[in-house]
C-alpha cells in the first residue's frame, strides 16, 4: 500500500521540486563541474570517465574551438592558437600580463578602433579575449552537467580565488554570461573548500585554508559556529602558483642542458612540460631522471632530486608565507587559536609545501579530500542550497572583500572607501564637491589595493557624474555610494544632495568588457549556433516570469497574513496577469507584467524582511530594558 | 518601499541595551542570527524587491556589527547617539598624552635597522595594547557615569584611542616592511 504524504502545517503542499544546480571550479590548470545528487556531492566525469577538464582552448580556422585534453595535446605543436592558463589574464590589462612575463607566449593584438582596453590574443579564428576563452571552457562544463543530469541548469556557483579583485570577478561573471549560465553566486575558493570539508559540523573554532593552485595563491582564515562560516580575513597573490614552480624548474633544466636564454615558444613549452612531469613525480619518489634535447639534436640527460627541487621551490613557498602573516594579523588571532589547516590546490601535493605550511602554522594539515576536487565539491553543496533544494539548511557563508576599495584624490593619492576584509555585502557613502564655479560634471576614478599611490593600485573603473546644477565651487554636495554585493562586485550610484538631482553614473571598466561588447559577443555566438535571437529573448523572459511568480507565491504561502485584503487582491491580479502574459509570445508584454508584479509586491517584501528580523531577535527584546 | 530596520539604530537592530559595555559573545550571536534572517544567500530565489532589501539589510547588519564590535567605532557611535559633537579637526589633547605619543613614535622609528627589530616590535605592540586596554576601561566607566562632563571626557578618551589606532596601523605596515626585507 502506498503511504499518504502529508505536509507539515504551514508548509507548501506541493511536492518539493528538485532544481538542477552545479558548482564549477574554473581553474588555471584544470576545471571541474560537480553537483549534489541524492544528498551527495559528486564530480561529473566526461564520457571517458575523466573528471578534470584541462583549462586549455585551441582555436582553429573554420572549426569550433577545441577544449580540454585535445587542446592541451596541441600546446606545443600549435602554441599561438592554443591558450592555457587563461585565468591569469582575466580582468587584466596588457601591462599586468607582461609583468607576469607570460605575454611573450602569445601574440597580443594591438587595440585598434574600439576604445576597449581588454587584451586580445591573436589566433587563426580571430582576436580572442580571455573572457571568451573562459566561456568556451564553461560551455563544455555546462553541456557535461546538463547531459548527465538530463535537464537545463537553473543556476551555478562559480568559484574564484579569494584574492581576485573586482575586475577579475567581473570578467568571470561575464564569461558565465557568454556561456549562457545563470550565476547564483561567485564563491571564494578557500571558502568552498571549507564547506567541502564540512568544517561547520565541527565544534566552534578557527580554521585556515591554504590554497595553492596552478596560478593563484589564497589564504583564508575562518571562524566556524553552528553552520555559519565567517571569513575573518583573506590574503593572497593572484600571480603565484604551480605554474611558477614549473617555470623555475624549466629554467634550471635549460641551464643544466646549456641552452641559451633565447628560446622559441615551442621549446619553452616542451621544457615546461618536462619540468611539470618531474615535479609531479617527485611528490612520490626521491629522485627522477630528466632529459632535454638541444638545438643541435643532442640530448642532455640528468637527475633531479628532492633536495635540488626544494632549493628551487623554497623561495616560492616563502612567498606564500607573508600573505599568511598578514591574514593572521588582520584576523587578530594568534597561532595557538588555529585548529587546523585545510590544504587545497594541486600544488599542495608537494611534500615540501605541506611540511613548510605545517611548520609555519604549528598544526596539522588536512589533506583528506583530493586537493584538485575539493573546491568544486564545496561549490556544488553551496549551489544546491542557494537554488533552494535544502530549505531547512542552516549553512551560511559570510565572506569578505579581499582588497581595499578607494578613489583617486588630488595628487594621485588614494582615499580608502571600503577597507579590505570588510564582510560583504557592504557599502560606503562618500561626499564629493566641485572644484570650479559652475562645474557640471565630476570624474571619479575607482581603484583597488592597499598602496597609497594610485599608480600602485589596480584601476577598476572611471566614471563621470553629469548633470550637476551649476553652483559656486564647493557648494555642490555629491553623495556617491559604493556598494559591494555578495559576489564581491562593486556598483556605484551618485546623487547631488543640495538639488536632489540624480546624477547619471557611467562606469567604464578599466580592463573589462563593456555591456555592449558582451551583448555583441552573445549575438555573434548565437548567429554561430543559428539560434533565433527572438525565440531566445522570449524564452529568457518566460524563465524570468516563472521565477517572479514562484518567488511571490512562496512568499504568500508563509506570510500572506502580512497583507490586507485589498493588497492581496492587487497582488493576485498582478500574478494572474503575468501568468497569462507568460503563456503568450510577446516578451515585451511579459516584461511589463513582471514589472507590475514587482511594484505590487514591494511593500510586501519590506514587511516580510522586517518580520524576519523581528522573528530572529524575538527572544531578546527584554534586554532592551535591563 | 521602506524597511523599518534600515533606519533603526544599531542597538535596536541587535536588540542590545544602549551601552558601551557589550558582551562580545552575545553581539556575535545576534549578528549570526540576523544574517541568517537577511543575508542575500537566503533570497536567491526571491523577488527583485526582496533581493534588493536583503542586500541593503545585510549591509546594514555588517556595518552595525563592525561598529559595535570595535571599541573605538562603538565609542564614536555612542557619542553621536548621545548628541556629543565629534569634531575631528579639533586635536587638542593634554600634553602628557602627546609626550607619550611622541615617545612611542620614537620607539617605532628605532625599530627599523635595529638588530633586534623583531623583539622591539613585539614589545612595542604589547605596550600599545596595554595602553589601549586602559583607555577602553576608562571609556566604559565614563559612559556608565553618563553625565555631560563624563561624556566630554569620553570624547577625549575616544580621540586618544584614535591615536593608538593609527599607531597600530603604522606598526602593521612596519611589520610588513620588515617581513619583506
Say yes or no: B178 contacts chain A, CB-CB below 8 A: no
What integer is the mean pLDDT of B81-98?
79
Q: How would residue B91 be classed by pLDDT, with cut points 50, 70 and 90?
A: low
CATH topology of domain B95-180: Monooxygenase (1.20.1280)
User: Measured between CB atoms, which of A604, A612, A621 is closest to B38?
Assistant: A612
- Those residues with Cβ within 8 angstroms of residue B117's Cβ, 6 or more apart along the chain or in another chain: B111, B178
Give, in degrees to the nearest 5, the angle at Cα B133 between B129 and B139: 145
A620 φ, ψ (degrees, to nearest 5): -105, 0
The distance of A598 to chain B (nearest Cα, Å) reads 7
- Those residues with Cβ within 8 angstroms of residue A233's Cβ, 6 or more apart along the chain or in another chain: A220, A221, A326, A327, A328, A330, A331, A400, A421
Q: What is the Cα–Cα distance from A340 to A354, expressed in whole angstroms?
A: 12
CATH entry 2.30.30.100 includes domain B3-69: no
Is the model more confident about B138 or about A269?
B138
Percent of chain B with pLDDT over 70: 93
Considering chain B, what is the average pLDDT of its residues?
A: 87
Nearest CA in chain A to B60: A426
Identify the H or E element spanning A431: strand A426-432
Q: What is the pLDDT of residues A83-134, one digit of tens each?
A: 988 998 898 887 777 765 555 677 777 654 455 578 888 888 888 889 999 9
Check if A211 is active-site. Answer: yes
CA distances from A162 to A230, A273, A327 (A): 14, 28, 12
The three-state (H, E, C) secondary structure of A352-382, written as one string: HHHHHHHHHHCCCEECCCCCCCHHHHHHHHH
Per-residue pLDDT at B180: 67
Percent of chain A with pLDDT over 90: 40
Per-residue pLDDT at B98: 87
Per-residue pLDDT at A536: 75
Say yes or no: B98 contacts chain A, CB-CB below 8 A: no
Residue A387 and residue B63: Cβ atoms within 8 Å?
Answer: no
User: Measured between CB atoms, which of A483, A601, A609 is closest to B38?
Assistant: A609
Per-residue pLDDT at A203: 63
Say yes or no: A555 contacts chain B, CB-CB below 8 A: yes
Which ranges of chain A have pLDDT less than 50? 1-2, 5-15, 112-113, 622-626
* Start-end of H helices in A495-560: 515-529, 533-559
Considering chain A, what is the average pLDDT of its residues?
A: 85
Beta bridge partners of A217: A212, A237
Q: What is the Cα–Cα distance from A380 to B142, expressed in whole angstroms?
A: 51
What is the dihedral sign for C-alpha A512, A517, A519, A520? negative
| Chain A residues close to B49, C-beta within 8 Å | 598, 601-602, 604-606
Q: What is the Cα–Cα distance from A169 to A188, expressed in whole angstroms?
A: 10
Domain regions of chain B by residue span = 3-69, 95-180
| Chain A residues close to B17, C-beta within 8 Å | 623-626
Please identify among residues 25-44 of chain B the ones whose CB lies closer than 8 Å to any CB of chain A: 28, 30, 32-42, 44
Per-residue pLDDT at A157: 97
Q: How would residue B89 be classed by pLDDT, with cut points 50, 70 and 90?
A: low
- Among candidate residues A174, A189, A274, A496, the one labeled active-site is A189
Beta bridge partners of A56: A84
Nearest CA in chain A to B6: A610
Amino acid at each position: 500500500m502506498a503511504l499518504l504524504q502529508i505536509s507539515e502545517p504551514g508548509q507548501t503542499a506541493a511536492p518539493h521540486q528538485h532544481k538542477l544546480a552545479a558548482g564549477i571550479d574554473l581553474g588555471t590548470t584544470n576545471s571541474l563541474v560537480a553537483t549534489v545528487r541524492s544528498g551527495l556531492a559528486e564530480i561529473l566525469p566526461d564520457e571517458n570517465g575523466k573528471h578534470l577538464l584541462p583549462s586549455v582552448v585551441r582555436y582553429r580556422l573554420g572549426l569550433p574551438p577545441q577544449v580540454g585534453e585535445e587542446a592541451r595535446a596541441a600546446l606545443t605543436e600549435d602554441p599561438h592558437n592554443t591558450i592555457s592558463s587563461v585565468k591569469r589574464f582575466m580582468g587584466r590589462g596588457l601591462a599586468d600580463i607582461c609583468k607576469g612575463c607570460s605575454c611573450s607566449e602569445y601574440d597580443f593584438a594591438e587595440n585598434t578602433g574600439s576604445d576597449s582596453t581588454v587584451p586580445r590574443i591573436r589566433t587563426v579564428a580571430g582576436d580572442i579575449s580571455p573572457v571568451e576563452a573562459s566561456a568556451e571552457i564553461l560551455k563544455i562544463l555546462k553541456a557535461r552537467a546538463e547531459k548527465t543530469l538530463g535537464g537545463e541548469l537553473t543556476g551555478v556557483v562559480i568559484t574564484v580565488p579569494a584574492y581576485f579583485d573586482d575586475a577579475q570577478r567581473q570578467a568571470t561573471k561575464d564569461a558565465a554570461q557568454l556561456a549562457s549560465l545563470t550565476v547564483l553566486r561567485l564563491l571564494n575558493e578557500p571558502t568552498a573548500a571549507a564547506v567541502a570539508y564540512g568544517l561547520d559540523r565541527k565544534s566552534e573554532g578557527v580554521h585556515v585554508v591554504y590554497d595553492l593552485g596552478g596560478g593563484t595563491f589564497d589564504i583564508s582564515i575562518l571562524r566556524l559556529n553552528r553552520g555559519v562560516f565567517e571569513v575573518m580575513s583573506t590574503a593572497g597573490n593572484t600571480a603565484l602558483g604551480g605554474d611558477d614552480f614549473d617555470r623555475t624548474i624549466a629554467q634550471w633544466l635549460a641551464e643544466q642542458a646549456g641552452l641559451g636564454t633565447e628560446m622559441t615558444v615551442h621549446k619553452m613549452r616542451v621544457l615546461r612540460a618536462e619540468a611539470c612531469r618531474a615535479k609531479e613525480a617527485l611528490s612520490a619518489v626521491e629522485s627522477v631522471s630528466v632529459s632535454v634535447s638541444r638545438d643541435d639534436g643532442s640530448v642532455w640527460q640528468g637527475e633531479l632530486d628532492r633536495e635540488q627541487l626544494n632549493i628551487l621551490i623554497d623561495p616560492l613557498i616563502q612567498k606564500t608565507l607573508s600573505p599568511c602573516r598578514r591574514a593572521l594579523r588582520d584576523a587578530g588571532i594568534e597561532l595557538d587559536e588555529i585548529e587546523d589547516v585545510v590544504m587545497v590546490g594541486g600544488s599542495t601535493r608537494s611534500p615540501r609545501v605541506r611540511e613548510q605550511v605545517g611548520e609555519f602554522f604549528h598544526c596539522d594539515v588536512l589533506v583528506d579530500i583530493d586537493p584538485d576536487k575539493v573546491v568544486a565539491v564545496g561549490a556544488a553543496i553551496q549551489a544546491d542550497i542557494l537554488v533552494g533544494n535544502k530549505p531547512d539548511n542552516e549553512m551560511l557563508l559570510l565572506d569578505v572583500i579581499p582588497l581595499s576599495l578607494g578613489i583617486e584624490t588630488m595628487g594621485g593619492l588614494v582615499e580608502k572607501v571600503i577597507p579590505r576584509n570588510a564582510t560583504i555585502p557592504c557599502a560606503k557613502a562618500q561626499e564629493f564637491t566641485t572644484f570650479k564655479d559652475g562645474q557640471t560634471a565630476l570624474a571619479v576614478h575607482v581603484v583597488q589595493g592597499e598602496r597609497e599611490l594610485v599608480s600602485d593600485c589596480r584601476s577598476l573603473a572611471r566614471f563621470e557624474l553629469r548633470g550637476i546644477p551649476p553652483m559656486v565651487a564647493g557648494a555642490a554636495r555629491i553623495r556617491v555610494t559604493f556598494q559591494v554585493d555578495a559576489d564581491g562586485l562593486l556598483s556605484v550610484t551618485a546623487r547631488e544632495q543640495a538639488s536632489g538631482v540624480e546624477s547619471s553614473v557611467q562606469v567604464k571598466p578599466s580592463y573589462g568588457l563593456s555591456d555592449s561588447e558582451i551583448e555583441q559577443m552573445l549575438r555573434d555566438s548565437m548567429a554561430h549556433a543559428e539560434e533565433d535571437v527572438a525565440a531566445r529573448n522570449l524564452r529568457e523572459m518566460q524563465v524570468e516570469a516563472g521565477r517572479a511568480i514562484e518567488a511571490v507565491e512562496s512568499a504568500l504561502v508563509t506570510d500572506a497574513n502580512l497583507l490586507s485584503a485589498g493588497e492581496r487582491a492587487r497582488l493576485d491580479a498582478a500574478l494572474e496577469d503575468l501568468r497569462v502574459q507568460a503563456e503568450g509570445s510577446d516578451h515585451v508584454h511579459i516584461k511589463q507584467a513582471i514589472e507590475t508584479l514587482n511594484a505590487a509586491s514591494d511593500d510586501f517584501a519590506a514587511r516580510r524582511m522586517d518580520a524576519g528580523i523581528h522573528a530572529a531577535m524575538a527572544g531578546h527584546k527584554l534586554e532592551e530594558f535591563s | 518601499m521602506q524597511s523599518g530596520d534600515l533606519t533603526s539604530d544599531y542597538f535596536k537592530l541587535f536588540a542590545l541595551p544602549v551601552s558601551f559595555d557589550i558582551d562580545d559573545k552575545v553581539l556575535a550571536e545576534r549578528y549570526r542570527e540576523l544574517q541568517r534572517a537577511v543575508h542575500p544567500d537566503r533570497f536567491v530565489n526571491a523577488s527583485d524587491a526582496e533581493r534588493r532589501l536583503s542586500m541593503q539589510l545585510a549591509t546594514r547588519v555588517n556595518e552595525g556589527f563592525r561598529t559595535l564590535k570595535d571599541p573605538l567605532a562603538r565609542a564614536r557611535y555612542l557619542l553621536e547617539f548621545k548628541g556629543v559633537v565629534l569634531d575631528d579637526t579639533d586635536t587638542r589633547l593634554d600634553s602628557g598624552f602627546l609626550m607619550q605619543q611622541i615617545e612611542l613614535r620614537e620607539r617605532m622609528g628605532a625599530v627599523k635597522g635595529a638588530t633586534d627589530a623583531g623583539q622591539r616590535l613585539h614589545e612595542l605592540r604589547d605596550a600599545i595594547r596595554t595602553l589601549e586596554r586602559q583607555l577602553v576601561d576608562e571609556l566604559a566607566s565614563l559612559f556608565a557615569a553618563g553625565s555631560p562632563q563624563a561624556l566630554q571626557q569620553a570624547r577625549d578618551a575616544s580621540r586618544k584611542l584614535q591615536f593608538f589606532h593609527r599607531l597600530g596601523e603604522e606598526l602593521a605596515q612596519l611589520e610588513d616592511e620588515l617581513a619583506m626585507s
